[in-house]
Amino acid sequence: MTNRPPSEPESSQKTALGFDEFIAILVAFATIGAILFWSLSRRDSSWNLNGLLSPSSTPSRTVQPNQVLPFPTPKVEPNAAPNNVLPSSPPEAVVEPKPPSFSTNNATSSGAVLPSAQVIPTQSPQPQTSVSSSAGLESSITSSALPLVTPAKQKSIIPPPVAFNDVPNNFWGRRFIDVLSSRGILKGFPDYSFRPNQPVNRAEFAAILQKAFEEEPSKSAIAFQDIPTKFWATSAIDQAISAGFLKGYPKKTFKPQQNITRVQVLVALVSGLNLKAPTSQNQILSVYKDAKDIPIYANSKIATATVNGLVVNYPNAQILAPNKAATRAEVAAMIHQALVKRGKLKGISSQNIVRSGGVSPKVSPTRKQNLKGNLSTGS
């Protein structure tokens, strides 16, 4: 028998994976995946910050007193003002810390409860929840004792008079001008001047009457031939004529650029105010040294103006100067007296106001005795 060398072992053939082994591996991987998914989902829920950031969320467990939540608690510095207190809040106002509640709702509404070791009695407790700045302002305003403000009484709406640079304090008509300028009846010029000695024409006088008496405009206006279609004082002229202050001239003319005289100013005011004429006209007019210069048609009107205190003469109260062109200061004084007569203004004392049968108010007894029985000026 021949000895043969041992044959080399044949390489093992690869066997296919059985069905049972495949199922076992699949089950193992599924189990591991389920465990990982469960652990990850539990970790996400434990780190959910919505419950901490929302003031209205309710925690899953009850907060016990003296228990600190996981998030860090800000340290309250001594002498530090709370963020929700306005700078104007009184420093002596102390908020007493209330004892913590053991219910879940109270813990949620008040936020985290600070440890008792960090609560300072003289400081307002710092809220731990995230609250908007507007809510903090509202809470501080509600808690602060603010004084009640009583509305002041309504003051006069009349502005102060214009300080015209050409009307000094000692000017005789200063007070008349101040009263009318403060009410917008008379206005100055762009250079802050009033030009008190400048004459007034008929159109300007109509505009002053419109501002002073505020009469209703006439529905049937007269078409004057000497007034352009778009004349600046057309409405004022129509109003002055309809109210009875002014009249036109023959041939449907008004002469708007003609200077108005002192007698025409007084006649216009007496006519517009519809004042009754006195009986003893000659006796009243005898006070004027130049009574002979008064036009005949104006005697009754001037006597009526004198009795009602509309005449203002400067510098001599006994000189009427009826045919002299009226200045802006003289028109201001006479318009003022007409408004006093109508009851729209309070009277002022002036030695230039001519009165009949008496004296101006606020006159000393000695002066009143000297002027008794005469047609005199007030003081």
Q: Where do the domains of the chain lie?
A: 49-128
User: How far lies 309's CA from each of 78, 175, 303, 322, 341, in Å?
Assistant: 79, 16, 10, 16, 8
Q: What confidence score (pLDDT) does residue 218 get?
A: 63
Cα dihedral: 176, 379, 326, 346 (round 10): 40
Q: What is the mean pLDDT of residues 112-139?
A: 48
User: What is the C-alpha to C-alpha distance for residues 295 and 322, in angstroms, rounded to an integer?
Assistant: 8
Q: Encode pLDDT of 263-312 as tens digits.
A: 999 999 999 999 999 998 999 999 999 999 999 999 999 999 999 999 99
Whether the pLDDT of residue 231 is over 50: the answer is: yes
Question: Using CA atoms, how far apart are residues 351 and 181, in angstroms rounded to an integer?
Answer: 21
Confidence category of residue 119, pLDDT binned at 50, 70, 90 = very low
The better pLDDT of the pair 92, 275 is held by 275
pLDDT band at 145 (very low <50, low <70, confident <90, very high): low
Q: What percent of the chain lies above the pLDDT cut of 70?
A: 58
pLDDT at position 364 is 39
Eight-state DSSP code of residue 63: P
**What residues contact 175, with CB distance under 8 A and at least 6 apart?**
348, 350
Q: How many CA atoms lie within 13 A of 359 on its CB side?
A: 17
> What is the residue-averaged pLDDT of the chain?
74
Task: Name the 3-class secondary structure at 229.
Answer: coil
Q: Is the pLDDT of residue 201 over 70?
A: yes
**Rounded Cα gap, residues 95 and 282, in angstroms:** 89
| Helix boundaries (H) for the chain | 19-46, 50-53, 104-110, 133-143, 174-182, 202-213, 234-242, 262-273, 281-285, 299-307, 328-342, 365-371
Residue 35, burial from CB neighbour count under 10 angstroms (0-12, 13-18, 19+): exposed
What pLDDT digit, counting tens, does each position of 346-358 carry? Answer: 999 999 999 875 3
Task: For residue 45, name the pLDDT band (cuts at 50, 70, 90).
Answer: low
Q: Which residue has the tokens 């041992």?
A: 6
Does the pLDDT at position 62 exceed 70? no
d(CA 12, CA 1): 30
Name the packing angle between helices 262-273 and 202-213 (round to 10°).
30
Both structure tokens of 72: 């860090």
| Alpha-carbon span 18 to 327, nearest angstrom | 131
pLDDT at 40 (0 to 100): 81
pLDDT at 200: 98
Residue with more model confidence, 41 or 187? 187
Does residue 362 or residue 203 have the better pLDDT? 203
Helix (H, G, I), strand (E, B) or coil at 262: helix
Identify the residue with better confidence: 22 or 324.
324
